[in-house]
Amino acid sequence: MTIVKLGGNKLLIHSPIPIEPYPYLKKDIEELGEVKYVVAPNKYHWLYLKDFKKTFPDAITYASLSTQEKLLKI
């Protein structure tokens, strides 16, 4: 996972990882800023996109069309 700090205290999360196994992760991310965007760039980096969207529901999610189709099936 990569976190990019944008202007205005906003964050972009690229290739999200699982949150549940790491109880400190949500707090650490929130200390960096507000999660505004979550990007699943390809068919290999989408597995935890739903978890991130659940944890940060106001974030805008970007994913390839094939990834979007996979998410609708689970």
Q: What is the total residue count of the chain?
A: 74
Global model pTM greater than 0.75: yes
pLDDT digits (tens, 9 = 90+) for 10-66: 999 999 998 888 889 999 999 999 999 999 887 777 778 888 888 999 999 888 776
**What pLDDT shows up at residue 70?**
62
**What pLDDT shows up at residue 71?**
63
Domain spans, the chain? 2-73
**What pLDDT shows up at residue 48?**
81
Please say whether the beta carbons of 63 and 71 come within 8 A. yes
Higher local confidence (pLDDT), 72 or 21:
21
pLDDT digits (tens, 9 = 90+) for 1-23: 999 999 999 999 999 998 888 88
Compute the Cα dihedral for 38, 66, 43, 71 and give only its sign: positive
